[in-house]
Amino acid sequence: MPKASNHEQDLRVSEVYEQIVQGMPTRAILQFCAGKWGIRTRAGEYLIAKARQELVKNASVDREFSLAEEIEARRELIKLSLESGKLQTALNAMDSRAKLRGLFNKEDPQNSTEVINIVGTGFET
């Protein structure tokens, strides 16, 4: 069987990618590859590896976008909470936003606004 073109290879990787996303076990994907394209186990494993690389790359981009969305949502919540005088809600949203940004060390409870709560002390704006 002749080697697949780059375009055909990309199409195969896309099909394998979809099967991975759908939760198909590796053995089933290898059987699919053998049945559909007549390729051996090693070639199927190569397609699976390429598809997994794409999956990791896409997940990284999706995670960055999702994180940016969540931080922006909390910025808006902080603004609305402060405007309506709901200072505890604003403080909780600030705490959540800081955690999303990785500003708190999870092992150190002193790095949390849950411990150092300034609402009601005259420091609020």
Q: How far apart are CA 2 and CA 91, in angstroms?
A: 64
**What is the rounded average pLDDT for all residues in the chain?**
85
Q: Does residue 116 have a pLDDT over 70?
A: no
Instruction: With cut-offs at 50, 70 and 90, classify the pLDDT of residue 36.
Output: very high
Cα angle 38, 4, 14; round to 5 = 85
Instruction: With cut-offs at 50, 70 and 90, classify the pLDDT of residue 47.
Output: very high
User: Where do the domains of the chain lie?
Assistant: 6-111
Q: Does residue 114 have a pLDDT over 60?
A: no
SS (H, E, C) the chain: CCCCCHHHHHHHHHHHHHHHHCCCCHHHHHHHHHHHHCCCHHHHHHHHHHHHHHHHHHHHHHHHHHHHHHHHHHHHHHHHHHHCCCHHHHHHHHHHHHHHCCCCCCCCHHHCCCCCCCCCCCCCC
